[in-house]
Amino acid sequence: MHENLENPDSETVIIIGGGPAGLTAAYELSKSNVDTVLFEKDKIVGGISRTANYKDYCFDIGGHRFFTKIKRVNDMWQEVIGDDFLHRNRLSRIYYNKKFFFYPLRPVNALLGLGLHNSFLILASYFYSHVFPTKQEDTLEQWVSNRFGKHLYMTFFKTYTEKVWGIPCSELRAEWAAQRIKGLSLMKAIKNSMIKPDSNKPKDKIIKTLIDSFDYPKYGPGMMWEAVAERAKGNGSEVHMQAEVDGILWEENRVTALEVSINGKKELFHGTNFISSMPMRELIQAFKPDVPESVLHAASNLNYRDFITVALVVNKRDVFPDNWIYIHDPEVKLGRIQNFKNWSPYMVPDPEKTCLGLEYFCFEGDDFWNMSESELIELGEKELEILGLVQKGDVESGTVVRMPKAYPVYDSQYEEMLQTVREFTGKFENLQLVGRNGMHRYNNMDHSMLTAMYAKENILGAKHNLWEINEDQEYHEEAVEETTTDFIFEDYFQQTFSRMDKLAFAIATGAVSGLLLFMVTLFLVLKGGETVGPNLQLLSSYFLGFTVTINGALIGFAYSFGCGFLLGWVFATLRNLSVAFYIYRARRKIEILSFRNFMQDF
């Protein structure tokens, strides 16, 4: 084995992985004149944020929007390829029950697509979930049902989510939903569609799931990471491709070196600090000598969901206007379709053609993963025809890209297993874990980059806790170690008695009230008979113009919605005031008890 010992006493940072986190670490360190050596086992940089190329048709692995609330991340993007960004308007829809639904939701579109009966059940279910929420939020099913209502969860979330993860939503942990769709509820989605967003609103106040525009590199996200790699090398960093880490040598509380296979030859690389973005499971399995059995067992039980893109060149100028479509139809295995031409026209060399990316979710080594390229292309053509999007004869050619370990799985055992591995890796004073797979955390690209930026600062003397960096959560170092009574008190009550959104609750109450009267009136009209709805005729005394007719049903809906809206607003206001008063009284009581305890101790 060749030993790389050019200057064993120099400060050298060794980075494992050439995805967004690893490359960001190399780039940031190189700007600070720190020697870095990066190893990427693939022949393309970018990880899942790469751009693949097939006959000059460029395609993304999953679709990567460049939108962030983190200024320093955005600054780096602009610094690297700012002039090559396109600003794109978002259009994405859900394909469900042979119909298209806009996402984020648009009330009229949803009402027409779902029908009055289903719309009423969704709103009633939402109303019920906010009055009688599930107190325990351990699973994704419980988390989503509490925010959207059980009926909408069953309609839109369950089928697609289980298609993505391959396990029941009742086994997926709530932490995944809390990271990916934090801050979103049914009414916030509806409000977003009805009220034009304020262009001056700070990014940290925008719910990522609802953004209606984003930046995108002209030739896909890989363009960013290829540029970052070149800049890092220009600053003196070494970047080794097709370099697989076979062994991680360690003694006591330090990593000492890596065994790396480069072009079939094994080499030993020493370093003073190590940053890893390789999958946590593989990291632990590569340690030499072996880690304790309990740690190895925990790492081996960290699971991943794998990903296949079937890219098809379609001989049609326009197929659909969306950037991407979510496929909620259980009849097909297809999960999502990207239309790369609508991400960037530069991705498709022939404007008379379209390149679609058909996304399938599976487990590495299962029957689907092992299908041949021709079988997968044929399946993609067939499923596009079933969905009525493309005729089989319109597909000109295609290719397949398999992406292992695309998504860390938040299953029922992941939290316990992750904690065991964290405790073990946390004892190493010169090893930091960054990025999605490095931390086994479903971070987006910007948060993966942020972990690398803070890892770099730690090497230069800072004391950041990288595990405090969560999706849709800014990192504030000074708040990490807070353990005061006030902090615990506020955290507890915010979780137990969250403030009720007055507008959302008022809309829900008004909609349920209006739909109820509308449907009852319509039922009586359709039922007919000599006497139609004598009891409802009393409402005409209060609702001017109301009659038991179709026109009257619409008038009744408007009146009932207004009354329900007002009652909902008053109820939510009184509820918030009563909770605020209760919290005030409880706080005062705690302060008095704390003062007594202090005086007794004194």
Banded pLDDT at 66 (limits 50, 70, 90): very high
Average pLDDT (502-525) is 80
Residue 380's CATH number: 3.90.660.20
Instruction: Give me the pLDDT at residue 483, please.
Output: 36
- Give one word for 115, left, alpha or beta, with left for phi > 0 and alpha for psi -120 to 50: left
> Looking at the DSSP assignment, which residues form a beta bridge with residue 259?
247, 268
Average pLDDT (210-214) is 74
The span from the CA of 269 to the CA of 257, in Å, is 5
What is the CB neighbour count within 10 angstroms for residue 424? 18
Asked if 544 and 576 sit in the same domain, the reply is yes
Residue type, 569: W
The span from the CA of 551 to the CA of 549, in Å, is 5
- Cα-based distances in Å from 27 to 19, 268, 457: 12, 23, 13
Asked if 246 and 282 sit in the same domain, the reply is yes
Instruction: Give me the pLDDT at residue 499, please.
Output: 64
Asked if 145 and 170 sit in the same domain, the reply is yes
The residue whose two tokens read 């579109």 is 109
**What is the dihedral sign for C-alpha 280, 285, 286, 291?**
positive
Answer with the one of 154, 181, 211 that is the final residue of a domain: 211
Asked if 260 and 282 sit in the same domain, the reply is yes
Question: Which strand ranges, in their side-by-side order, compose the sheet holding 265-270?
Answer: 2-4, 265-270, 254-262, 243-251, 287-288
Q: DSSP readout, 137-155?
A: --BHHHHHHHHH-HHHIII
Instruction: Give me the pLDDT at residue 517, please.
Output: 82
Evaluate whether residue 60 is within a structural domain.
Answer: no
Q: 277 and 435 in contact (C-beta within 8 Å)? A: yes
The residue whose two tokens read 């007919």 is 528
Asked if 99 and 198 sit in the same domain, the reply is yes
pLDDT higher than threshold 80 for residue 74: yes
Evaluate whether residue 441 is within a structural domain.
Answer: yes
Instruction: Give me the pLDDT at residue 484, please.
Output: 37
pLDDT higher than threshold 90 for residue 262: yes
Count the domains in the chain.
4
* Full domain range(s) for residue 164: 92-211
Lowest mean pLDDT among 12-16, 142-146, 408-412, 525-529: 525-529
Percent of the chain with pLDDT over 70: 82
Q: DSSP readout, 280-325?
A: HHHHHHTEESPPPHHHHHHHHT--EEEEEEEEEEES-S-S-S-SEE
Instruction: Give me the pLDDT at residue 366, please.
Output: 94
Evaluate whether residue 443 is within a structural domain.
Answer: yes
Lowest mean pLDDT among 163-172, 232-241, 297-306, 526-535: 526-535
Evaluate whether residue 178 is within a structural domain.
Answer: yes
Q: Which of 65, 126, 101 is nearest to 446 (CA)?
A: 65
What's the pLDDT tens digit per position in 344-362? Answer: 999 999 999 999 999 999 9
DSSP, collapsed to helix, strand or coil, labels residue 33 as coil
Answer with the one of 211, 230, 260 that is the final residue of a domain: 211
What is the CB neighbour count within 10 angstroms for residue 429? 11
Helices 550-601 & 502-527 angle (0-180, nearest 10):
150
Residue type, 525: V
The residue whose two tokens read 């939290």 is 415
Asked if 313 and 297 sit in the same domain, the reply is no
Instruction: Give me the pLDDT at residue 46, please.
Output: 94
pLDDT higher than threshold 90 for residue 491: no
Asked if 366 and 417 sit in the same domain, the reply is no
Evaluate whether residue 490 is within a structural domain.
Answer: no
Asked if 292 and 366 sit in the same domain, the reply is no
Average pLDDT (130-152) is 83
- Cα-based distances in Å from 293 to 251, 276, 290, 566: 17, 21, 8, 62
- 231 against 480, higher pLDDT: 231
Average pLDDT (537-552) is 78
Asked if 155 and 177 sit in the same domain, the reply is yes
The span from the CA of 421 to the CA of 294, in Å, is 9
The pLDDT mean for the chain works out to 83
Average pLDDT (112-122) is 80
The span from the CA of 599 to the CA of 594, in Å, is 9
Q: 49 and 20 in contact (C-beta within 8 Å)? A: yes
Evaluate whether residue 290 is within a structural domain.
Answer: yes
- 1 against 224, higher pLDDT: 224
Asked if 205 and 112 sit in the same domain, the reply is yes
Lowest mean pLDDT among 100-114, 369-383, 445-459: 100-114
Evaluate whether residue 336 is within a structural domain.
Answer: yes
Asked if 246 and 351 sit in the same domain, the reply is no
Evaluate whether residue 485 is within a structural domain.
Answer: no
Answer with the one of 381, 408, 435 that is the final residue of a domain: 408
Q: 325 and 337 in contact (C-beta within 8 Å)? A: yes
- Rounded to the nearest 5 degrees, what angle is found at the Cα of 85, between the Cα atoms of 81 and 89? 160
pLDDT higher than threshold 80 for residue 487: no
Residue 460's CATH number: 3.50.50.60
pLDDT higher than threshold 60 for residue 407: yes
Asked if 420 and 281 sit in the same domain, the reply is yes
